[in-house]
Amino acid sequence: MTATAPSAEAAVRPDGVAPARRGPGRPRAEGHDERILDAAVALLDRGEEVTVGRVVELSGVSRAALYRRWPSMTDLLAAALDVGREVPTVPVGDDLLASLLDGYTLPGAAGAGYSDERFRLRIRLAMTDRKLARAYWRSHVARRRGAISDVLAEGIRRGELRDDIDIDACIDLMNGVFYYQYVVRGVSFDDPGVVDRCRQALLVAWRGMAVDPSHAHPMEDE
């Protein structure tokens, strides 16, 4: 069975009402969060549907404990799909363009534990479930954009980048280069030619943002 977005069983509460956040009282049992997430990841890796019943069965955690930790199965599924990804660190050094290129294209930028298969699964599920896509964006994607946003903001501060650029739109533009390789071209970043094509596209984007495009890494043109 292929993995799919949560079904009707996946609603966290039978009545469809999200559980209230935990207030003062008994502390959470240690290790429950990890067991719940590990169970969801195992189901994904097996190609099974992630449901309340199966997560409870595999994790050994009660439904009540599950309800206290996750406002919905959509949020749990989003978290499971993100396991292995890392929040990138992009040093804001003297050469901002070099920092940007390395941040996007160095081996392991997505995290050593994040497989190509899981990335493609996430894309497939998100494309068929907008609620899941929004949950993944809210909880995981948005926080990883901070490092690139800092590089662009520093470029504006230094006068290297135009002060009228929309940073969020520019990040969308650059990220789109990489998603296109996966979704449309169907290629792998193990191919040096793919990485080089992405670097060249990032360079074009940088020139569009730059105050003086002629100063954007002459070495990249060689």
Segments making up each domain of the chain, as ranges: 8-82, 96-221
CATH says 96-221 is which class? mainly alpha
For the entire predicted model, the pTM comes to: 0.73
How far is it, in rounded angstroms, from Cα 61 to Cα 97?
A: 48
Give the pLDDT confidence score for residue 134 in this predicted structure.
92
Q: Which residues make Cβ contacts (< 8 Å) with residue 115, sequence separation at least 6?
A: 84
Which regions in the chain score pLDDT beneath 70?
1-30, 88, 107-113, 215-222
pLDDT tens for 122-150 read 888 888 999 999 998 888 888 888 889 99
- DSSP element (H, E) containing 195: helix 192-209
